[in-house]
Structure 1
Amino acid sequence: MKKKSFYSFFAVFLAAMLMLAGCFGGKEETAKPADGDSGKKTEETKGPKVLKLNNTEEPGALHPGLAQGTHDSWILEGTFEGLTKKTPEGKIVEGMAEKWETSEDGLTWTFHLRDGIKWSNGDPVTAEDFEYAWKFVLNPKNASTYAYQLYYLKGGTEFNSFKLTKSKDSKKLAEQDKKLKELEDKVGVKAKDEKTLEVTLASSTPYFLDLTSFYTYYPISKKVQEATPKWYTEASTFVSNGPFKLTEWKHKESLKIEKNENYYDKDNIKLDAVTFAVIDKETTAYQMYQNGELDMVYPIPQDVLPTLKDNKEFHNGPDLSTYYFNLNNKVKPFNNAKVRKALAMAIDRKTIVENVAQGGQQPAYSIVPPGIPEGDNGDYQENGGDLFSENVDEAKKLLTEGLKEEGLSKMPKFSIVYNTNEAHKKIAEAIQEMWRKNLDINVTLENVEFQVKIDREHAGDYQISRAGWIGDYVDPMTFMDLWVSDGPYNDAKWSNKEYDQYIKVAKESMDTATRMDAMHKAEKILMDEMPVLPIYFYTKPYVLKENVTGFFTPINRYPQYIYADIEN
């Protein structure tokens, strides 16, 4: 009797203590299973699955038509979806579109949308939303820097290239709007009905289907855009059509996206939410990872990389991207090709990748990275080979000649602009020392926020800047058309008519051999002129907690979390 009474009292006391612990918070503990209990948690005790990631910068624009960097696209790729999407193996599969057909000449594509697809606010996603979104990008009034990605559409170039007047005359503005509408109506994208989108290209484009999975081709809600033009700047007004929806945005601090119950494939989305801590310091992010505050970190501090090679949480995926320096070709003496080439030839890339970057990167002696097939003829980059070499003696000779041609006896002072990132700083410092030692020139370093760097590059307000480019699609053209004259991402401000012509041939031809030959010739011109300095071809080294599954790394995307899961 006494024994039974004691245990009854203890059970009541324990229950009371547990209730109090719940009231006052603290770390949640999981009770050990009683005899005969399987120990399995019920759905009620598991709690939500929240994946914790880091975003290296505050997003510049979470709008598919205005975004222009990975600090935007990593979140957009989880909150939006295009006509197609990519599998972990890189295969292009059905997204918002359930099927499509193309004409024999490759100029007309007809996409049929799925039944029942919805925006996160419950409205139906229609073919008109795609038409509206693509024309939004091309409309010169919206100043989309990625508008050129839609030049493949018939009439796209003409619409976007229309020069807007600065006149305040209402009559002239009305005439301008009329002309814009005429050009817009000629663009090759048309909603035939709510579920059918017809696309007409300016010329056959072998990689067009790949482009439809890229974020500039995502839809936006016409209804939302017209009612709330700044919908994309706050979580409270954000509307998307992807696996997740934006529910919280503490600017310059963090973002949270939650599972979108209106997404057609929601049953295959295992996470309840993903949080993004805005952290520009790699060491801080890695410390948070070690403390359990983050589940995955990319990029990793360079001095940590050598210690992780045998770590089960370390992964190193492929990356279709190049690390390079822009040279402002409009600023003396960087307008001189000999000076530019001297700077390129005086950089020891092997030392940088082995002792500074330390992520398995490959020294770059061309601009297009490996990983792009040249039809059935192997890898494009391997076929092209090295297009220049390092040679300090030749670099000194070229620098002397180039400076003399510009009426200079020595190199003037200049700076390297790089965005806040410890890795970029260390690489800039290494190159600064190489140029001092090999060419006897002094360089200063200037650190700015990422968006500031982008804005200054577009404005030409720099001398040398750190840059990187991830291929938007798997074709050499995603790199090669960056430096066409007047190209929106030609931050080097370089122009070469012969180069432009080869790019034109490669864009218009459907013959693989002709296209690849033209791009190889164009790339040789680029490296002979050296308007940019290739440093290395990226890899994607990251750490991921062992209980997180389902991550995959497409060759031209950040590591993908969409189908990730967390094992409790």
Structure 2
Amino acid sequence: MQKKSVIFWLVAIVLLTGMMAGCGDKETGYLRYALSAEPETIDPRKSTSVAASTVEAQLFEGLTTINEKNQPAPAAAEKWEVSADGAKYTFFLRKNAKWSNGDPVTAQDFEYAWKSALSPELASAYAYQMYYLKNGEAYNNKLASADTVGVRAVDDYTLEVILERPTPYFLSLAAFHTYYPVHRKIVSTDERWSASPKTLVGNGPFILKEWVHNNKMELAPNPQYWDAANVKMDKLELLLLDNASTVVSMFERDQLDMGETMPASEVPRLLREKKAFLYPQLGTDYYSFNVNQAPFDNPKVRKAFQLAVDRDALTVKALQGGQQAAYGLVPPGLSDAKPDQDFRQVGGALLKDHDVETARRLLAEAGYPEGKGLPPVTLLYNTSESHKLVAEAVQEMWKKNLGVQVQLTNQEWKVYVSNLEQYDFQVARDNWLGDYADPITFLELFETGNGNNVPGYSNRAYDRLIQIVRTSNDQSVRMQTMHDAEKILMDDAVLLPLYFHSSPLLVKDKVKGYIRTVFGTVYLKGAYLQQ
């Protein structure tokens, strides 16, 4: 969830706002943080959820990190050099960086981690994030060997990276969790290394002390961390709470210091009382249609369902949390060809909101006038009060506007993710948070074979456009091509955009020093409690 290079940040700086609280008297102790779900894994090469990335951001550290200004900063690498053509990076690792077991963090660990994330055998959903490396995509598709991938340990503390092409936001990508290192010797001999505090070895500011499934994770300062002197908290208690009402109740009873979730109906009050704060976030919530399963293998049916939703009613009347109605996939906050222009504003609205007349006509043309004869439809969402609120509102809109009865099914996070991965759904709640400051971070999701292509969409014309975006160095060409690609997605009704994010976070007044990035990552390394 990030991006960088020196010149690149002329673009990215337009966008971002992080948060790093100030100074004052400090006290040690522990911070209680509510995660919205239990991480499916905390192997950074495999994870996909926000909950997992939040935990990993405390346990691991990439070559770079994202600072309070949402810019890349030195982390495991103390400095780097970039070639004149922008396609080669040389990173110089800190010689005092150690793993939590005391072993040195080496360039070989990074090389191993990156190549293993790309390995076809690991089948990482985020492998495509490594396609920026020379021959990364070819290796992942079994068309080249690992030896040809553009990452090489020159020596223990020098890592050479060769890219397929200049990538202005690569320094930001280097802070993303798929680019974290893993301990080569431990990981290569124990495939379950990340499942237990006894075997998990990280290089970040904290270590995992306890993991009680469906309850909590406990983290403690990592005494081997190179910057241990600036880690403030004695303990982090990460509570695994998927019930938003419970989170607010515990927060108001002083049983929590920070929390990611809250009922949509409570957001206005919590913001007004300054118990929660809104943070800009590069994110979009949408429903994905399974384009390979009836009745949503018919684009007219998908389009009818897409047009029959009143997004303004969702955001203003139902959610009430500062969200913005979405009429496309890519959210505001990303620059277009001209840095002072916003991609979303240039692209405009790509679908008409609440176009009931057209929706009914399309459904009839598909053979289902007034919804008659339509196979049973189920909408799947992961357990959350706000997701339930949206699902019930959309369910009622589809009933009123299309005459369609839709069954709602909610599932615990891991079961829900498993069903998405197996394409065992018809319509499913989905979302995406940008990983770096370029619209391609959203659009590449729907490329054929992408590990996060939830709808199972495949369109050769669309794939060709994504390849043009990846290979062109002309920003005008890239941006226009991405506008064209987004239009294809909306015309094909692969997804139903709902709203763009503005993310509320529960925070006690006494909590200072944390960083919340525009990509949704929370860094607690510098967090402390002010007396």
TM-score, L = length of structure 2: 0.92
Q: Distance in 2 between matches of 1:559 and 1:355?
A: 29
**Cα displacement (A) at 1:404:** 6.1
Structure 1 residues 288-320: Cα deviation after superposition (integer angstroms, max 9, x where no partner): 111111001211111211212321322100011
Q: Distance in 1 between matches of 2:380 and 2:207?
A: 35
Report the AA paired with residue 151 of structure 1: Y
Report the AA paired with residue 89 of structure 2: W
User: Match for residue 232 of structure 1?
Assistant: 194
User: Match for residue 382 of structure 2?
Assistant: 419
Report the AA paired with residue 192 of structure 1: V
User: Match for residue 13 of structure 1?
Assistant: none
User: Match for residue 464 of structure 1?
Assistant: 427
1:401 equivalent to 2:341? Answer no
Gap regions ≥5 residues in structure 1: 1-40, 164-181
Richer in helix (by share): 1
SS at match of 1:255: strand
1:276 equivalent to 2:238? Answer yes
SS at match of 1:403: coil
User: Match for residue 138 of structure 1?
Assistant: 118
Give the counterpart of 2:443 among 480, 486, 511: 480
Q: Distance in 2 between matches of 1:567 and 1:475?
A: 37
Q: Distance in 1 between matches of 2:261 and 2:378?
A: 25
Q: Where do residues 245-324 of structure 1 align in structure 2 (5 Å cutoff)? A: 245-324=207-286
Cα distance 1:49–1:546, how it changes in 2: closer, same or farther (>3 A)?
same
Q: Distance in 2 between matches of 1:231 and 1:224?
A: 7
Report the AA paired with residue 518 of structure 2: I
Q: Distance in 2 between matches of 1:378 and 1:120?
A: 45
Give the counterpart of 1:106 among 78, 86, 102: 86
Give the counterpart of 1:354 among 316, 325, 332: 316
Q: Distance in 2 between matches of 1:110 and 1:552?
A: 27
1:330 equivalent to 2:295? Answer no
Structure 1 residues 227-257: Cα deviation after superposition (integer angstroms, max 9, x where no partner): 4331100011111001111111111211011
Q: Where do residues 201-216 of structure 1 align in structure 2 (5 Å cutoff)? A: 201-216=163-178
User: Match for residue 525 of structure 2?
Assistant: 562
Q: Distance in 2 between matches of 1:212 and 1:416?
A: 36
Most deviating of 142-151 and 315-324 = 142-151
Q: Distance in 2 between matches of 1:222 and 1:551?
A: 30
* Residues 333 and 403 in structure 1, CA contact (< 8 A), matched pair in contact too: no
Q: Where do residues 142-161 of structure 1 align in structure 2 (5 Å cutoff)? A: 142-161=122-141
Report the AA paired with residue 57 of structure 1: A
User: Match for residue 61 of structure 2?
Assistant: 81
Q: Distance in 2 between matches of 1:403 and 1:439?
A: 13
SS at match of 2:209: strand
SS at match of 2:516: coil
Q: Distance in 2 between matches of 1:87 and 1:187?
A: 29
- CA-based RMSD of the aligned residues comes to 1.7
User: Match for residue 413 of structure 2?
Assistant: 450
Give the counterpart of 1:60 among 30, 40, 43: 40
**Cα displacement (A) at 1:113:** 0.8
Report the AA paired with residue 519 of structure 2: N
Q: Where do residues 20-99 of structure 1 align in structure 2 (5 Å cutoff)? A: 48-99=28-79
Cα distance 1:267–1:215, how it changes in 2: closer, same or farther (>3 A)?
same
Give the counterpart of 2:488 among 525, 534, 555: 525
Most deviating of 81-90 and 548-557 = 548-557
Structure 1 residues 188-244: Cα deviation after superposition (integer angstroms, max 9, x where no partner): 110000011011112222222211000000000012112433110001111100111
Alignment: residue pair count: 504
1:550 equivalent to 2:530? Answer no
Give the counterpart of 2:475 among 502, 508, 512: 512
Report the AA paired with residue 81 of structure 2: E
* Residues 38 and 214 in structure 2, CA contact (< 8 A), matched pair in contact too: yes
**Cα displacement (A) at 1:399:** 1.2
User: Match for residue 166 of structure 1?
Assistant: none
SS at match of 2:523: coil
SS at match of 2:265: coil
Q: Distance in 2 between matches of 1:233 and 1:470?
A: 25
User: Match for residue 348 of structure 2?
Assistant: 385
Most deviating of 552-561 and 138-147 = 552-561
Give the counterpart of 1:197 among 150, 159, 180: 159
* Residues 341 and 395 in structure 1, CA contact (< 8 A), matched pair in contact too: yes
* Residues 216 and 239 in structure 2, CA contact (< 8 A), matched pair in contact too: yes
**Cα displacement (A) at 1:258:** 1.0
TM-score, L = length of structure 1: 0.86
Report the AA paired with residue 400 of structure 1: A
Most deviating of 241-250 and 260-269 = 260-269
* Residues 206 and 510 in structure 1, CA contact (< 8 A), matched pair in contact too: no
Gap regions ≥5 residues in structure 2: 1-24
